[in-house]
Chain A
């Protein structure tokens, strides 16, 4: 970490525009926000309001068109792809709405691969995978492939994978959006556990359960921060 800061995420006038033919469409229109360490933030807002784009920018998956973006003390606007890859691997856990597990890898391998990239010892990886799968209640599914799991199970594997390298920041994009009530409840429990462990969590969600869990709710509307509530 090159710059010590009180905030895990700091944005100033953050803009993200995408080309649409000759024109540019602004998805985020100058967002300024700060998220402190250990905070659980829910990003809400209608579809197309910019929630996913916001998470993509914070994780370094996407780059802003303009503005300032500092995550965990790093100015992500000036870093190259390799740095961003390492940054994501070491410091950010990302959970996608559509789970996004690697279909050629088993559950255990899906959880293990982010640890393999930072060259953890094999024994350490094995112990950690076991621990994480126990945490999400899927130790009995370790050798199954994603296609053999239900949606809820896949989402729990995605959480286990996101936690593999013990990241400071966890981002989840509508983690309960594709799940039924029972499975949604299980995911909420995982998030509650993360909150009680003092992790910084940002969740894009429409789920009132998750919003209730949050320390702060930020509502996006048409690419702007419309409201914030404690």
Chain B
């Protein structure tokens, strides 16, 4: 028999095992490649995204998640490949022994199985690379991410191919080398080919029901494979928790912060051009553009006392807030900070053209999430900068100040605000008015009483404004807010679904593990059935094994996943009871799905006649 004819025929003879192995390898290679391509295309780089969408603060949460998920997917891929190759080769130990017992030289048997391993690895990696590119193309074009589209980085393909091929080879060779070192008799012993422990001294769960007893003891008996699958599934559940819990909590947290910064159900009163510009500045977060040369301090935009008077007399208004918005060049001021041993210079006198918003701290309708604190009534020479401005212009923003015209303003806080993608500085209204010599605000934010007929009050306000100046308008900020929120939602939903591939691969591995269990215990199952066990008893025993493995991994995975999500990836998370329910529902759905699918080989096996199993 030629050295390639046997491995090829052998792989074709074991169609189900070969098919499952190839499928698992393909899915795992494809998921890793897709993640790399997709992550690269939507941009891991900070500047490329921050300039067009999001703010630095929001993007850093998103990109750190994406990177973490990618690292986990790669780890899952590596563990899957090692597990699959270990599994398929460990299962061949008996065949190894049989062929050796028939007189075939050790080196020839080794080369047979090595060829099998190489064929499976090569095919799995090639198919995975193709599927990875295909999935990336489909997600980008069908999933509505054309805006991010750029040519995929083809260098990822050889990188993933080589990495996974080498992983697979290293981990697949170990059981082969072990088998080669055994005598034919030892290789034929179940003690060897299922990684069984010597004897059976440990009586797990001896007081429990029969099915649980058999299931738990079999798991302990196959401890090598059991430990591997538990470690592997734990990583998968960490990945799932980070991506599902993380994306739901991060979405809630970032959405809450946007809603707090913009304000919910807020109306904007402004000159029509100023209003359009303000909404464009808010929508830059989700990809819109704003007029860069807009003249914010155009006298026509001033909202005079007459306008304010009209708002004062309109019934149904709960509160309103005057703001002065302009764009000015500001200059960073360098400073010094002291460590235990030295004085360090910070800052570099950089200049940036930033949006400046004058607010009355006492009347502000927004509640910014702020590192440090927001402006207070006596903060005449203080400022709060947006997160992007803080990242672009300052080294240590809370220890620095900036110059606006000839006035120095001390940074007291860094806030998350979607307006102008976070390139914004909030200063006291009076200070800005005196610095710009403008005495009237150019926008007013209005909050209505929740009990009033909203559209009726809006019509009233619009009529009163038109009576003063026909160019004045009332704008709903909810539209821009909702656009930003849904943009964030779509970004987080990507993170939620990224581990889907890994989940499929994990399920296939669990199926592979149960096939190993069936293979190892098939004689026992046949005996049990011959003694009067119903076919469903066999399914129950295998289901219990699957559940023990899944719950052990679930516990470890969820614990680490939650710690990573809440303590490392998101600071000050907003965790609502709905989010907890949603996360639990997703995770349990994944658990239930994996469990049910893993039973497929058990159900198939239970239908086999007893004599077929025994033979």
Q: Would you give the 0/1 interface string for B519-531, flagging 1 where the beta carbon is closer than 8 Å to chain A?
A: 0000110011111
A residues 80-94 touching B (CB-CB < 8 Å): 81-82, 85-90, 94
Answer whether residue A79 sits at the interface, using C-beta atoms and an 8 A cutoff.
Answer: no
Answer whether residue B213 sits at the interface, using C-beta atoms and an 8 A cutoff.
Answer: yes
The smallest C-beta distance from B210 to any residue of chain A, in angstroms, reads: 5
Residues of chain A within 8 A of B611, CB atoms compared = 56, 61-62
Answer whether residue A100 sits at the interface, using C-beta atoms and an 8 A cutoff.
Answer: yes
Residues of chain A within 8 A of B221, CB atoms compared = 104
Residues of chain B within 8 A of A61, CB atoms compared = 530, 610-611
Interface 9-residue window, one of A4-12, A113-121, A178-186, A214-222: A113-121
Q: Would you give the 0/1 interface string for A93-109, flagging 1 where the beta carbon is closer than 8 Å to chain B?
A: 01010001111111001
Residues of chain B within 8 A of A113, CB atoms compared = 210, 528, 531
Whether A102 contacts B532 by the Cβ 8 Å rule is no
Answer whether residue B19 sits at the interface, using C-beta atoms and an 8 A cutoff.
Answer: no
Which residue from B209, B210, B532 sits with its C-beta under 8 Å from A86? B532
Whether A82 contacts B534 by the Cβ 8 Å rule is yes
Whether A104 contacts B534 by the Cβ 8 Å rule is no
Answer whether residue B200 sits at the interface, using C-beta atoms and an 8 A cutoff.
Answer: yes
Residues of chain A within 8 A of B536, CB atoms compared = 82
Residues of chain B within 8 A of A161, CB atoms compared = 531
Which residue from A86, A102, A147 sits with its C-beta under 8 Å from B528? A102
Whether B214 contacts A102 by the Cβ 8 Å rule is yes
Residues of chain B within 8 A of A94, CB atoms compared = 530-531
Whether A147 contacts B534 by the Cβ 8 Å rule is no
Answer whether residue B535 sits at the interface, using C-beta atoms and an 8 A cutoff.
Answer: yes
The smallest C-beta distance from B587 to any residue of chain A, in angstroms, reads: 32
Whether B214 contacts A85 by the Cβ 8 Å rule is no
Answer whether residue B203 sits at the interface, using C-beta atoms and an 8 A cutoff.
Answer: yes
Which residue from B200, B203, B217, B530 sits with its C-beta under 8 Å from A88? B530
Residues of chain A within 8 A of B530, CB atoms compared = 59, 61, 88, 94, 96, 100
The smallest C-beta distance from A141 to any residue of chain B, in angstroms, reads: 14
Answer whether residue B103 sits at the interface, using C-beta atoms and an 8 A cutoff.
Answer: no
Residues of chain B within 8 A of A103, CB atoms compared = 200, 524
Q: Which residue of B lies closest to A101 (CB)?
A: B527
Q: How long is the Cα–Cα vector from A74 to B316 in the complex, in angstroms?
A: 86
Q: Would you give the 0/1 interface string for A139-156, flagging 1 where the beta carbon is closer than 8 Å to chain B?
A: 000000101100000000
Whether A147 contacts B527 by the Cβ 8 Å rule is no
The smallest C-beta distance from A125 to any residue of chain B, in angstroms, reads: 11
Q: A88-B531, A104-B200, A117-B532 are in contact. Are A62 and B609 (CB under 8 A)?
A: yes
Whether B534 contacts A86 by the Cβ 8 Å rule is yes
Q: Would you give the 0/1 interface string for B491-528, flagging 1 where the beta carbon is closer than 8 Å to chain A?
A: 00000000000000000000000000000000110011
Residues of chain A within 8 A of B609, CB atoms compared = 62-63
Q: Which residue of A lies closest to B191 (CB)?
A: A147
Residues of chain B within 8 A of A82, CB atoms compared = 534-536
Q: A102-B214, A109-B213 are in contact. Are A85 and B527 (CB under 8 A)?
A: no
Q: A89-B531, A103-B200, A106-B203 are in contact. Are A62 and B610 (CB under 8 A)?
A: yes
Q: Interface size bucket, B side? A: 20 to 34
Q: Which residue of A lies closest to B526 (CB)?
A: A100
Answer whether residue B589 sits at the interface, using C-beta atoms and an 8 A cutoff.
Answer: no
Answer whether residue B105 sits at the interface, using C-beta atoms and an 8 A cutoff.
Answer: no
The smallest C-beta distance from B207 to any residue of chain A, in angstroms, reads: 10
Which residue from A85, A102, A106, A109 sits with its C-beta under 8 Å from B534? A85
Q: How long is the Cα–Cα vector from A87 to B532 in the complex, in angstroms?
A: 7
Answer whether residue B299 sits at the interface, using C-beta atoms and an 8 A cutoff.
Answer: no
Residue of A81, A114, A148 contacting most chain B CB atoms (<10 Å): A81
Q: Which residue of A lies closest to B541 (CB)?
A: A104
Whether B200 contacts A145 by the Cβ 8 Å rule is yes
Whether A85 contacts B529 by the Cβ 8 Å rule is yes
Residue of B199, B529, B531, B537 contacting most chain A CB atoms (<10 Å): B531
Q: How long is the Cα–Cα vector from A86 to B534 in the complex, in angstroms?
A: 7
Q: How long is the Cα–Cα vector from A88 to B527 in the complex, in angstroms?
A: 12
Whether B532 contacts A81 by the Cβ 8 Å rule is no
Answer whether residue B99 sits at the interface, using C-beta atoms and an 8 A cutoff.
Answer: no
Residues of chain B within 8 A of A101, CB atoms compared = 527
Q: A61-B610, A62-B611 are in contact. Are A148 and B214 (CB under 8 A)?
A: no
Whether A88 contacts B532 by the Cβ 8 Å rule is yes
Whether B524 contacts A102 by the Cβ 8 Å rule is yes
Residues of chain B within 8 A of A90, CB atoms compared = 532
Residues of chain A within 8 A of B531, CB atoms compared = 88-89, 94, 113-114, 161
Q: Which residue of A lies closest to B216 (CB)?
A: A104
Answer whether residue B597 sits at the interface, using C-beta atoms and an 8 A cutoff.
Answer: no
Answer whether residue B533 sits at the interface, using C-beta atoms and an 8 A cutoff.
Answer: yes
Q: How long is the Cα–Cα vector from A61 to B527 in the complex, in angstroms?
A: 10
Whether A104 contacts B213 by the Cβ 8 Å rule is yes
Residues of chain B within 8 A of A106, CB atoms compared = 203, 206
Q: Which residue of A lies closest to B220 (CB)?
A: A104
Answer whether residue B484 sits at the interface, using C-beta atoms and an 8 A cutoff.
Answer: no
Residues of chain A within 8 A of B213, CB atoms compared = 104-105, 109
Which residue from A56, A85, A96, A104 sits with its C-beta under 8 Å from B533? A85
Answer whether residue B218 sits at the interface, using C-beta atoms and an 8 A cutoff.
Answer: yes
B residues 570-609 touching A (CB-CB < 8 Å): 609
Q: How long is the Cα–Cα vector from A82 to B535 in the complex, in angstroms?
A: 7
Q: How long is the Cα–Cα vector from A62 to B523 in the complex, in angstroms?
A: 16
Whether A116 contacts B210 by the Cβ 8 Å rule is yes
A residues 52-79 touching B (CB-CB < 8 Å): 56, 59, 61-63
The smallest C-beta distance from B255 to any residue of chain A, in angstroms, reads: 53
The smallest C-beta distance from B534 to any residue of chain A, in angstroms, reads: 4
Q: How long is the Cα–Cα vector from A63 to B610 in the complex, in angstroms?
A: 10
Whether B535 contacts A81 by the Cβ 8 Å rule is yes
The smallest C-beta distance from A114 to any residue of chain B, in angstroms, reads: 5
Beyond the given A104-B218, A105-B210, A161-B531, please list 6 additional residue pairs across the A-B interface where CB-CB is below 8 A: A87-B532, A100-B527, A100-B530, A103-B200, A104-B200, A145-B199
Task: List 21 A–B pairs whose Cβ atoms lie within 8 Å, in order of A's numbering.
Answer: A56-B611, A59-B530, A61-B611, A62-B610, A86-B532, A87-B532, A94-B530, A94-B531, A96-B530, A100-B523, A100-B527, A100-B530, A105-B214, A106-B206, A109-B213, A113-B528, A116-B209, A116-B210, A117-B210, A117-B537, A145-B200
Closest 8 CB pairs of A and B: A89-B532, A104-B217, A88-B532, A145-B200, A85-B534, A100-B527, A61-B610, A116-B210
Residues on B close to A: CB < 8 A? 199-200, 203, 206, 209-210, 213-214, 217-218, 221, 523-524, 527-537, 609-611
